[in-house]
Structure 1
């Protein structure tokens, strides 16, 4: 059976801009963001890529035309050969009725209610309804799709199925929490014997979304919601844990059934006024580092308190040992680690597709009838485009007036040469194999550096990434070495950078570039099976330097998608102060002006 999952709306950005006044990247960040496609053949995910990697439009919500075409071409499949098409949103008529009831039940004035109904009606008719989704697919692909071959999968179910499939199946309790699905923002329950049971009494309505609340604080601090929440998480580490939290005292109410209510106005001017009152802030203070640290700490504490409340209820209601956590909130790796260590769960999984890229995978595996991943299916984030030597050489030739390159004999020689470069204070672009799927660079399209240099973070942030200097970087380490360097608690591996661990005291001075200000690190573990090229490089680097890990950050600059093609990599390399580019078997350097004839 062949199933194609996809996420994205052609009209999303236009409608959110016109109906709700969204501008810039915000137009892509409400529904359908992280547009992607994924292909499942006979029970295995064989290809998946985000549209942004191909279109080069960050966080795009557009219909993933290029991603769909690449997935099919990579597997040699035509549109007509696909058995089912799976879409991870299901705005049924029942959901539409609930949306209407929610608007009518608000305390808005009558004219404001009519205005909200008008805008929501246009959004539903032109974009969200089954008829609109079907028409969008036909127009963009030119394929005369049998309507019975289009499956609409509820958004939270798509999140859950992505996590369950990639975790290898089996019984587990689950929590899915994000900005919004159709009408809810968080659900919990259990997956037992392949059957999903939602604890409906613990579901949280969209109007009390924790993801939206965190996003509004993100905007209040001058960042982009649904995009920059990780900056707030990083800032929080610069301050001490709060003794009391006005958000929990005045904005959040926790309920005995595991749900909660968050009361924050929707209007930006109104919630800025509320936050100024709560945090003793104003437009001047919002620019001050110490104030931003304080507010970030309160926001992070709110997330940790609410998720701990949910997990307590889930533990009591389920009794299963393992926890699946999916949705945008699952990218808060600081909260993840505390959730696991402070709970009775013995295991917890957060997938590489936990945020909205993963719903394309989840919709596809659900529609394919998969509740558990087949034992022979490979779980890997390296599902995107790869490029053979001819493509690499063609790209290098196109930039021959600006770069030089040296070809290494084999994979081992590439590892040795790269380890030699990284032993010094060099920043290296690392481009190998298939593009990874999801928001993290996991060693296929990465920027690497030596964490033994205390100032290496500043070098990368300012000279390479062009981003805020307070941002930390993740260390990548061999799975076998990770427990020696990091206090990993209940985890034995962390392959997707979804957990944070303390750096053991004896290593903090040896890898200062990998330590955040609070002595922790967002760790990626790797082994030979997952990524042989990266594992080989780590072994060669450690043998040469006795440094047990490398810094790994995404191969891009602020505001740009992670690079995908050799040309993308060369453009980024030439636009930054990256010292070397290692692409396939070629070590690339920049020509100096004196080298140009």
Structure 2
């Protein structure tokens, strides 16, 4: 059976901009963001790519025309060969009725209710309804798809199925939490024998979304919601945990069964005024963006997220006798909260996939529709599912930029490893481009920027001269899975291949890898081994043998505001517009002319 999952709406940005006043990245940040496609053939996930990697529009919510075409082309298939197309949203008539009722029963004046119904009605009929989804596919592909070959999968179920499949299947308790699905923002329950059991009364409506609440604080601090929440998470580490959190006093109400309500106004003017009062800000936007104030508020936002998710897990623990916890959805990218959730719970294991946020719902919709409860027993769980480029493509790109770069062609993989380790032993920043592109926001290794964490100021070098981003941002180290417990306090985790957990750096290593330590002495690590990424594992061995440094700094190969590079040309463009010292692309070690 061949199933292609995809996520994205042609009219999303246009409708959210025109009907709801969304601008910039916000137009892509409500429904359908992180558009992607994924292909499952006879039970195996063979290809997946985010549309932004190909279109070069970050966080795009557009119909993933390029991603669908690439997935089929790489498998040698056409649209006729696909048995079912799976879409990770199901705005059924019942959901439509809920949307109408929410407006009708709300506290708006009558005229405002009619206006909200008009706008929501246009959004539903023009984009969200099953008929609109089918029409969008036909229009963008030019393919007369039989509606019976289009499966609509509820959004949270797609999240859950992505995590379950990539974790290898098996019974598990689960929490799914994000900004919004069709009508809910969070669900929890158990997955037993491939059957989903939701815990009664624990689902959280969209109006009390923890993800939306965190996003509103993100906007309040001058960042972009649904995009920059990780900045807030990073800032929180610069201050102590709050002794008193006014968010928990004023807007959050925890329920006994693990549910909760969060009461924050929708209108930015109203919630800015609320936050000014709660956080003690009387100086307007300038004061909100002062570093110390941002740290204080970020700490409260992070504490709120940790408190609410831990509350859910406590209730889930009491209701479930299972040992493993699956956590999926946008909130699962909060790696600081993830570690605390696991360590403070009775669960012995916790899995967060590399597709935990919305890129992964394309995978989840596909595997759900294919009827897969588990991945094949001998399959390697890998995020390296995207495009790769042969030597001819790489040479062509190098020749195109030949007036600006020089390169040395190494004879074999061993020589590439040795030369790269030699460069990284010094204070060089190296772009590392190998094999197939990664999928999702929490897996690197084939499109990475690497550096030596032994240099205390290397974070500043990369943040300011390469990534063009805020100096408070930390970097994640990549380490061999076999070495990780020696360098980091891993707690219940044996490995962490997708940078979805943080761990304290052992005291004896903090002075040896200062560039890999965040201000609080932790690191969001990525572990690798020979099965998952042989070239990177070999590079780590060679680098450690040369330097006695047990890990490398590992950040995404892009600059702020741009998608991670996908093609050789993308890599060369990024290399030439930053102060990256060297680019290692397949067997070619590239240097800027005059460097």
Whether the 8 Å contact between 2:443 and 2:497 is mirrored in structure 1 is: no
Whether the 8 Å contact between 1:337 and 1:499 is mirrored in structure 2 is: yes
Alpha-carbon distance in structure 2 between the residues aligned to 1:228 and 1:85? 32
Whether the 8 Å contact between 1:515 and 1:521 is mirrored in structure 2 is: yes
Matched ranges for 1:68-79 at <5 A: 68-79=68-79
Partner of residue 585, structure 1: 587
Alpha-carbon distance in structure 1 between the residues aligned to 2:416 and 2:102? 59
Alpha-carbon shift at residue 285 of structure 1 (Å): 1.5
Partner of residue 214, structure 1: 214
Alpha-carbon distance in structure 2 between the residues aligned to 1:447 and 1:235? 22
Alpha-carbon distance in structure 1 between the residues aligned to 2:200 and 2:156? 13
TM-score, structure 2 normalization = 0.99
Q: Deviations over 1:172-207 (max 9, x none)?
A: 000000000000000000001111101131000000
Whether the 8 Å contact between 1:9 and 1:62 is mirrored in structure 2 is: yes
Whether the 8 Å contact between 2:85 and 2:150 is mirrored in structure 1 is: yes
Partner of residue 152, structure 1: 152
Q: Structure 1: which 5+ runs fail to align?
A: none
Alpha-carbon distance in structure 1 between the residues aligned to 2:591 and 2:318? 58
Matched ranges for 1:353-502 at <5 A: 353-502=355-504
Alpha-carbon distance in structure 2 between the residues aligned to 1:287 and 1:183? 33
Task: Report whether the alignment pairs 1:196 with 2:196.
Answer: yes
Secondary structure of the residue aligned to 1:201 is: coil
Whether the 8 Å contact between 1:176 and 1:187 is mirrored in structure 2 is: yes
Whether the 8 Å contact between 1:237 and 1:518 is mirrored in structure 2 is: yes
Q: Deviations over 1:123-152 (max 9, x none)?
A: 000000000000000000111111100000
Alpha-carbon distance in structure 2 between the residues aligned to 1:587 and 1:376? 35
Alpha-carbon distance in structure 1 between the residues aligned to 2:269 and 2:578? 38
Alpha-carbon distance in structure 2 between the residues aligned to 1:299 and 1:440? 21
Alpha-carbon distance in structure 2 between the residues aligned to 1:103 and 1:501? 44
Whether the 8 Å contact between 2:354 and 2:443 is mirrored in structure 1 is: no
Secondary structure of the residue aligned to 1:283 is: helix
Alpha-carbon distance in structure 1 between the residues aligned to 2:550 and 2:172? 34
Partner of residue 48, structure 1: 48
Alpha-carbon distance in structure 1 between the residues aligned to 2:374 and 2:414? 37
Residues paired across the two proteins, number = 593
Alpha-carbon shift at residue 58 of structure 1 (Å): 0.3
Partner of residue 507, structure 1: 509
Whether the 8 Å contact between 1:34 and 1:61 is mirrored in structure 2 is: yes
Alpha-carbon shift at residue 254 of structure 1 (Å): 0.3
Partner of residue 120, structure 2: 120
Alpha-carbon distance in structure 2 between the residues aligned to 1:43 and 1:106? 45
Alpha-carbon distance in structure 1 between the residues aligned to 2:200 and 2:35? 28
Alpha-carbon distance in structure 2 between the residues aligned to 1:113 and 1:425? 60
Matched ranges for 1:85-100 at <5 A: 85-100=85-100
Whether the 8 Å contact between 1:419 and 1:541 is mirrored in structure 2 is: yes
Alpha-carbon distance in structure 1 between the residues aligned to 2:423 and 2:237? 32
Task: Report whether the alignment pairs 1:351 with 2:353.
Answer: yes
Q: Structure 2: which 5+ runs fail to align?
A: none
Alpha-carbon shift at residue 376 of structure 1 (Å): 2.7
Partner of residue 329, structure 1: 331
Alpha-carbon distance in structure 2 between the residues aligned to 1:425 and 1:377? 38
Whether the 8 Å contact between 1:44 and 1:378 is mirrored in structure 2 is: no
Whether the 8 Å contact between 1:9 and 1:32 is mirrored in structure 2 is: yes
Partner of residue 108, structure 2: 108
Partner of residue 573, structure 1: 575
Whether the 8 Å contact between 1:441 and 1:553 is mirrored in structure 2 is: no
Alpha-carbon shift at residue 378 of structure 1 (Å): 2.8
Secondary structure of the residue aligned to 1:39 is: strand
Task: Report whether the alignment pairs 1:524 with 2:526.
Answer: yes
Partner of residue 138, structure 2: 138
Q: Deviations over 1:77-133 (max 9, x none)?
A: 110010000000000000100111111121111111111111110000000000000
Partner of residue 227, structure 1: 227
Alpha-carbon distance in structure 2 between the residues aligned to 1:88 and 1:328? 15
Task: Report whether the alignment pairs 1:83 with 2:83.
Answer: yes
Whether the 8 Å contact between 1:36 and 1:64 is mirrored in structure 2 is: yes
Partner of residue 291, structure 2: 289
